[in-house]
Chains A and B, each alone.
Chain A
Amino acid sequence: MSILLYLLYTCCALLIPGVISITKAKLSGRKGPGLWQPIYDILRLLRKGSVYSTTTSYLFQYAPLVNFAAALLALAFVPLGDIPGLMHFQGDFVFFAYLLGLGKFLLILNAMDTGSGFEGMGANREALYSMLVEPAFFIVMGSMALLSGHNSFVDIFSQFQDTSQYAILLGFLGAYILGQIAMVENSRLPVDDPRTHLELTMVHEVMVLDNSGFDFGIIMITNSLKFGIYAGLLANLMVPIWLPLGFRLGFALLISVLFGVMVGLLESFRARNKMARNPQFILTLSAVSLLFFFTVMIIANRI
């Protein structure tokens, strides 16, 4: 069952970039590429040769793999309600968060290894944003642990909906926060616009300017996997636990697609934040998650 879930999330992950690009194409009146185009791109990249900058070192060649391995393993922790992920233990979400942190650490070094000022900018912004967004995730998980009395993904997500009649509302609020965290972590709008092609204003895209061929393909897969991971977490918060199994899996798939559509909508109709405003925006997320924490305390009769 867990294997099936892992495959489902992997499929969702690979679908999301396609869904986003279709949405954006339709909204801007273009025909757009097919749903599978991002996957074709990745497959093509994986077969290609690479060009390495002479400034780079051995680290540049292996850093994307560490990031990829971290994302692959992190996805294995995501459950669906009471269906555990491939791996689960108490406190697994701490491991999960730090694993993604490890991937990010190496990706930043990957960018800095090129000795390019542009990539330095991107890496620096990425480091700052992921540092600022980290507390929000931990506050949300702490609130969920408080509400459910458990401390692993699967226990929390299988229990929290039964804790009170308001739980599903809390789930949606939590999903909002996690969705925003996902936007920051994946460097999408409103923090970063992947469409901009001015190096000075990019975050994630500029970090991987010098990666090519296989490594770049790996980075593309990792990006989709991260979408899959967060879509999976959103599904956990929103899918009612009492639905029959098949429906729940379908619902999870639907949520992934909707997540992609939402990202597409957002990117079509919203402008990117001013770069200097981003820290404030991200800190607001921590503030909202603190509100989430206090709401949980009220519902759980701690206040």
Chain B
Amino acid sequence: MTNQSILLGSMLLSPLLFLLRGQLRYWAAMLLHLVVIVASSSAAISVFQGQAWAIDTGIYLLGEPIRLELDALSAFFVLVINLTMLTGAWYSGGYLKPYESSKSAIELSFHRFTYLWLHLAMIVVVMVPQGTPFLFAWELMTLTAFILVAFEWEKPESVHAALNYLVQMHVGFVFILIGLFLIQYQGGGSFSFSGLAKTHMPVQAFLLLLIGFAFKAGFMPLHTWLPHAHPAAPSHVSGVMSGVIIKMGIYGILRCVIYLPKEHWMTMGATILIVSIISGVMGVIYAIMQHDVKKLLAYHSIENIGIIGIGIGLGMMGYALGHPVLATLAFAGGILHILNHSLFKSLLFYSAGSVYQQTHTRYVEKLGGLIKKMPYTAFLFLLGALAICGLPPFNGFISEFLIYYGSFSHIGAGDMNEALILLACILSLALIGGLAIFCFTKVFSIVFLGSSRSSATTGAQEVSMSMLLPQGLIGLVILAIGLVPGFFVHYIEQVAGLYLPDASLPHAYLDTLRYVGIASGIFILLLVILILLRSIQQRRVEVAYGPTWGCGYTGADPALHQYTATSYADNFVQLAEPILGVETHYTPFAETEIFPETHHFERHQHDPMEANLVEKPGNALLYYLQKSAVFQSGKLQHYLWYGLLFLIVVGAMSYLKLL
């Protein structure tokens, strides 16, 4: 009861943000966030300790009392949401400082206000079991996120991205709505996800809900809003968006899977798995092509949603095939990856945001050499990059390892089809890992290493502590999951327990996780020893400095003679050209051109899925809608005619007893 009144209190106090200014507003917002976090996290933790948590709010919505309930899945999501929203709000304190002069006080207050309500909406989304309040909270979440994305509404691309997001979310919303209606009117008994267990059309309803939630999660080919919305939003919002908002789609899918009858797990699991593998591999392939650092990260979100989906899909199939351990490992991998991705992706967006704040550009070809000006930001970005590539000793490795581990352990346990499914999972994970390394070595090198490529980096300096500390906090959690995975997996098992009758891993498997942690620890220890040895050696020898080796040519301009993002991606583009939708424009050298003139080279990448699935049908629709505009002639006589025609038609129809 107390938790609920605290939550209500913070909702009622939130308009006060409009009365405050500057730092005071920031601290008031932080305080309200903390209140929400303490109230909801304490409930979530009590759920993990085995207590049931449910309250009747006493509030009625369309004649239905709203009930708040927490199971392990909701509790897990509450914790993930709280951590990311906290770091986002914390980071925004420094990030929004430059906007204090360009934005009016009311805009900034409104931003903090909507950010707080986004937090509340997401908490309510994962807490309500019934359909109606879920949809209300879901819509509130979409709208607040829309406002947050459109923060820089004076820029046309921001508004365009935000509207694109809003429209696509509502298309998804319609699918969820139809799915829920289908459940209610086809034997499910109630307008809620739990009706999926009773309805006699579970597959159809599940597929509708899956499509609806896939819009939010950004599964390919429904991802097209993501690469626009993430770059347009302010960086803390991008971090939160990629970290938790798209995970709400995953939450919806996971929630539906709980109630989906087990006999459909094989086919539905296969569906999710196939979509996820495509999202994972294609997401990272498109990411390599991006030169806008936040757009690149957005495509990586799609890739990671794919990895999460691989875990969920494989878990469902593993259960259907009669391998409970495989199912547990895959579910645990997928669910842990939700947490992991929310950590390293928000970290990457925050540090990319710090770079944007200092250089005012997201275009990587204008950056370079920032590691010397922003050493901590560079280090944190590197940490996030290593984690997202799934490299030990960081957290991304643990969740991918769980899926690998399940696959390798069961690859010989079944028939040919099972072996092929597991091989497909292993291969796609290996491919995603390799491509991610390619992509992040590119973006890190171009942004932070080498020399500066333009004047954009001239004034850059390290960002303030209030921006670095939240990132440091995320970094610590990333390392903690990498070093003591068993502790975290223990709680993930409880979430997986909602799907499987027995989700506790056998001891041998938990031991393995401990060994992984130990091996990671040994690695760090080894590294520390080597660094110490090196520093001793360096003290005893002479160290000199000079220019980079230029093949004997000393007149090279470091800004011009280093690798660019385009050249780094080039050899990959040559390989993957058929699926990339790359357009290259350049002026070739003429045969008679003895003295080189100025030449141009540009390369664009269009998302083929966006072009074929959104733009083409959208343009076709627009074409026919424009045709239908002939009726809107602007002449009063015509409109009078329409009225008369309508009356005649109605009259005729009632005469013929058609009405």
Contact A95 B392 (CB under 8 A): yes
B405: chain A residues at CB < 8 Å are 90-91, 94, 151
A36 at interface (Cβ–Cβ under 8 A)? no
Write the chain A residue with the least CB distance to B445. Answer: A112
B658 at interface (Cβ–Cβ under 8 A)? no
Q: Which among A62, A115, A135, A137 has the highest number of chain B CB atoms within 10 Å?
A: A115
Write the chain A residue with the least CB distance to B548. Answer: A53
Quick one: CB contact mask for B559-579 with A, threshold 8 Å, 1 for yes?
001110001100110110000
B171 to chain A, nearest CB (A): 35
B78 at interface (Cβ–Cβ under 8 A)? no
B391: chain A residues at CB < 8 Å are 98-99, 101-102, 105
B9 at interface (Cβ–Cβ under 8 A)? no
A148 at interface (Cβ–Cβ under 8 A)? yes
* CA–CA, A131 and B440, complex, Å: 12
Given contacts A65-B530, A214-B534, A279-B575, list 8 more A-B pairs with CB under 8 A: A72-B526, A91-B409, A99-B523, A105-B441, A115-B558, A130-B437, A132-B434, A135-B434
Choose from B401, B412, B522, B541 the contact partner of A146 (Cβ within 8 Å): B412
Residues of A participating in the B interface, judged by any CB pair closer than 8 Å:
46-59, 61-62, 65-66, 68-70, 72-73, 87, 89-92, 94-95, 98-99, 101-102, 104-105, 108-109, 112-118, 120-121, 123-125, 127-128, 130-132, 134-135, 137-139, 141-142, 145-149, 151, 199, 209-210, 213-214, 276, 279, 293, 297, 300, 302-303
B631 at interface (Cβ–Cβ under 8 A)? no
Considering the complex, which residues of chain B in the window 428-487 have a beta carbon less than 8 Å from any beta carbon of chain A? Answer: 430-431, 433-435, 437-438, 440-442, 444-446, 449-451
Given contacts A91-B404, A117-B561, A279-B575, contact A73 B522 (CB under 8 A): yes
Contact A50 B571 (CB under 8 A): no
Contact B572 A128 (CB under 8 A): yes
Write the chain A residue with the least CB distance to B562. Answer: A115
B497 at interface (Cβ–Cβ under 8 A)? no
* CA–CA, A141 and B434, complex, Å: 17
Q: List 27 A-B contacts (CB under 8 A).
A: A50-B538, A52-B543, A55-B369, A57-B378, A59-B449, A66-B527, A69-B523, A69-B526, A72-B526, A73-B519, A89-B515, A94-B408, A99-B523, A101-B389, A101-B437, A116-B548, A116-B549, A124-B567, A125-B571, A127-B441, A135-B430, A137-B430, A141-B408, A142-B407, A145-B411, A146-B411, A297-B419
B450: chain A residues at CB < 8 Å are 55, 112-115
Interface of B is mostly: helix
* CA–CA, A89 and B509, complex, Å: 10
A73: chain B residues at CB < 8 Å are 519, 522-523, 526
Contact B404 A115 (CB under 8 A): no
Contact A134 B433 (CB under 8 A): yes
Write the chain B residue with the least CB distance to A53. Answer: B548
Write the chain B residue with the least CB distance to A48. Answer: B541
Contact A95 B401 (CB under 8 A): yes
* CA–CA, A50 and B522, complex, Å: 28
A117: chain B residues at CB < 8 Å are 561-563
Write the chain B residue with the least CB distance to A303. Answer: B416
* CA–CA, A125 and B544, complex, Å: 29
Choose from A57, A99, A116, A131 the contact partner of B392 (Cβ within 8 Å): A99
B547 at interface (Cβ–Cβ under 8 A)? yes
Write the chain A residue with the least CB distance to B450. Answer: A115
Contact A98 B409 (CB under 8 A): no
Contact B445 A109 (CB under 8 A): yes
B418 to chain A, nearest CB (A): 9
B378: chain A residues at CB < 8 Å are 57, 59
B320 at interface (Cβ–Cβ under 8 A)? no
A55 to chain B, nearest CB (A): 5
* CA–CA, A127 and B445, complex, Å: 12
B183 at interface (Cβ–Cβ under 8 A)? no
Write the chain B residue with the least CB distance to A72. Answer: B526
Considering the complex, which residues of chain B in the window 67-96 have a beta carbon less than 8 Å from any beta carbon of chain A? Answer: none
Given contacts A91-B512, A95-B516, A210-B548, contact A50 B543 (CB under 8 A): yes
B372 at interface (Cβ–Cβ under 8 A)? yes
Interface of A is mostly: helix
The 8 closest A-B pairs by CB, nearest first: A120-B563, A115-B450, A112-B445, A131-B434, A49-B541, A89-B515, A49-B542, A53-B548
B389: chain A residues at CB < 8 Å are 101, 105
B508 at interface (Cβ–Cβ under 8 A)? yes
Given contacts A49-B541, A151-B408, A210-B549, contact A115 B449 (CB under 8 A): yes
A193 to chain B, nearest CB (A): 18
Count of B residues near A, CB < 8 Å? Answer: 82
Choose from A123, A135, A145 the contact partner of B445 (Cβ within 8 Å): A123
B11: chain A residues at CB < 8 Å are none
Contact B523 A209 (CB under 8 A): no
A90: chain B residues at CB < 8 Å are 405, 409, 508-509, 512
Considering the complex, which residues of chain B in the window 570-612 have a beta carbon less than 8 Å from any beta carbon of chain A? Answer: 571-572, 574-575
B263: chain A residues at CB < 8 Å are none
* CA–CA, A102 and B423, complex, Å: 23
* CA–CA, A105 and B439, complex, Å: 11
Q: Which among A66, A127, A302 has the highest number of chain B CB atoms within 10 Å?
A: A127
Contact B369 A115 (CB under 8 A): yes
Contact A50 B544 (CB under 8 A): yes
B101 at interface (Cβ–Cβ under 8 A)? no
Choose from A115, A120, A279 the contact partner of B567 (Cβ within 8 Å): A120
B426 at interface (Cβ–Cβ under 8 A)? yes
B390 at interface (Cβ–Cβ under 8 A)? yes
Write the chain A residue with the least CB distance to B542. Answer: A49
B158 to chain A, nearest CB (A): 32
Write the chain B residue with the least CB distance to A86. Answer: B522
Write the chain B residue with the least CB distance to A198. Answer: B551
B502 at interface (Cβ–Cβ under 8 A)? no
B374 to chain A, nearest CB (A): 11
Contact A142 B527 (CB under 8 A): no
Contact A209 B549 (CB under 8 A): yes
A104: chain B residues at CB < 8 Å are 437
* CA–CA, A70 and B519, complex, Å: 11
A293: chain B residues at CB < 8 Å are 423
B427: chain A residues at CB < 8 Å are 135, 138-139
B382: chain A residues at CB < 8 Å are 59, 109
Contact A69 B541 (CB under 8 A): no
Contact B390 A98 (CB under 8 A): yes
B435: chain A residues at CB < 8 Å are 131
A228 to chain B, nearest CB (A): 17
Given contacts A50-B544, A139-B427, contact A116 B550 (CB under 8 A): yes
B529 to chain A, nearest CB (A): 9
A173 to chain B, nearest CB (A): 17
* CA–CA, A235 and B511, complex, Å: 28
* CA–CA, A199 and B537, complex, Å: 30
A128: chain B residues at CB < 8 Å are 438, 571-572, 575
B501 at interface (Cβ–Cβ under 8 A)? no
A89: chain B residues at CB < 8 Å are 511-512, 515-516, 519
* CA–CA, A57 and B527, complex, Å: 18
B419: chain A residues at CB < 8 Å are 146, 297, 302
Given contacts A117-B563, A125-B571, A151-B405, contact A300 B412 (CB under 8 A): yes
B386 at interface (Cβ–Cβ under 8 A)? yes
Q: Which among A87, A116, A214 has the highest number of chain B CB atoms within 10 Å?
A: A116
Choose from B404, B415, B522 the contact partner of A302 (Cβ within 8 Å): B415
Q: Which among B369, B389, B441, B567 has the highest number of chain A CB atoms within 10 Å?
A: B441
* CA–CA, A300 and B412, complex, Å: 9
* CA–CA, A4 and B409, complex, Å: 29
